[in-house]
Amino acid sequence: MPAAAYAGKECVCQFNRGICDQTCVQDMLATPFYIACLKLKGRRCLVVGGGDIGLEKIEGLLACGGDVVCIAPEVHPEVERLAAEGSIAWEQREYAGPEDLDATFMVIACTDDTAINIGIYDDAEHRAMLVNVVDVPPLCNFILPAIVRTGPLAIAISTAGASPALAKRMKREISELFGEEYAQLAIMLNDARGWAKGTLPTYQDRKAFFEEIVNGDQDPIALLRAGDSEGVRALIAAAQISHTPA
């Protein structure tokens, strides 16, 4: 697996320095990333490389409904099992070139061959598609943050590659802070969206309705932590009454 660039290491990026001088990552911390959530359901997502890291990326794509294809001569036993059960498609071979990217939404490369990784990046960039070469920042046009998932909630944490260890600590602490109660409240508020859209005429009216519930005198999160989901439903019902146009 290619490792993050550091001085004195063999170069693994397209600058082909021979020995890394960190040219490729000098502006990483100053690069503003456009944060977005991608809808992967039914989209072809290619993973080139099927080792431990490949398995991690495959599982993440499957969790989001991606149509996952893995290209690798050899794979982790769990990747082979996923292919055998039909959860992914495994093409047991080396990456062949740009034709492997046909009808593909994104590609993640995690091979230990720098030339292959650079070729995948160049092929993907030529097609203006999403590409991430694991642990090689200059061979990525998107990065994968640490994710906290609880029900419908997803919180992304990124240090722009500066410290994965710090991102993991933040993920653990955020998981403890924003627990199951927040996911439960999100579901209950979503149930009220239809009423709000059908009843309240303006965006500002709908905003005021939901903010009264979330930030009112009674804390819905505290109620849910106490096991009082009916109390939250009562808050929502009261807000519906007070915000219904005369």
Pairing of strands 44-50, 130-133: unpaired
Residue 189, φ and ψ in degrees, nearest 5: -70, -35
Distance CA 46, CA 106 (A): 6
| pLDDT computed for residue 164 by the predictor | 77
Give the mean pLDDT of 118-145.
Answer: 92
Q: Is the pLDDT of residue 33 over 90?
A: no
Distance CA 26, CA 8 (A): 15
Pairing of strands 44-50, 67-75: parallel
Give the CATH number of domain 32-143.
3.40.50.720
pLDDT digits (tens, 9 = 90+) for 205-216: 999 999 999 999
The number of helices, as runs of H, and strands, as runs of E, in the chain is 9, 7
Give the mean pLDDT of 78-85.
Answer: 97
Exposure b/e, 124-149, CB count within 10 A at least 16 = b = beeeeebbbbbbbbbbbeeeebbebe
The one-letter code for the residue type at 199 is T
Q: What residue segments make up the domains of the chain, in order of their start? A: 32-143, 144-174, 178-241
> pLDDT tier at 125 (50, 70, 90 boundaries)?
very high
